[in-house]
Amino acid sequence: MSAYTTVADRDSVACGDERDLFKIVANALRQARDVQGMLVGTVIPAMPPARRSFADWLVQTLDNGKFFDEPTLRDIDAFMSLLQREIDVGTNVGWEPDEYHVRGGYKRIELDARAKSLVPTLAALTTLRSSIAIALDTARATSITQDLISG
């Protein structure tokens, strides 16, 4: 016997899942639009010409809205790694001596202007990647749940 006593109970669960999925997808689309702007306005101009093609491809992928799949998640991961490497190139870790500090000083991390400009895009890409993963997981969970209910 099903945990749902009526067809209305079953349908309300499916409807709720679809509304939740709609909100998640809408949020990811908004985030994608923000990331596109960052890529076009900051990242692509900051990249050497030989490394711009990946960013250009990502802008086009986000623009067409067809980024809700596992291969695109992997591509975003790869681009995030590339962006992190670019940030690392512009990061200088130094030592600031301080006679009053318990360890005699502390690390000082400085980013050049280019690296600083890339950090917000990396953060936005991380959030977008999470939203896409949540959308994919929610869609899969909804499908599995509906299969279980129908029986």
pLDDT tens per residue, range 79-116 = 999 999 999 999 999 988 888 888 888 888 999 999 99
Alpha-carbon span 12 to 16, nearest angstrom: 6
pLDDT tens per residue, range 124-143 = 999 999 999 999 999 999 89
With 60 as the cut, is the pLDDT of residue 58 above it? yes
CB 2, CB 146: distance < 8 Å: no
Helices (H), 39-112: 44-46, 52-64, 70-89
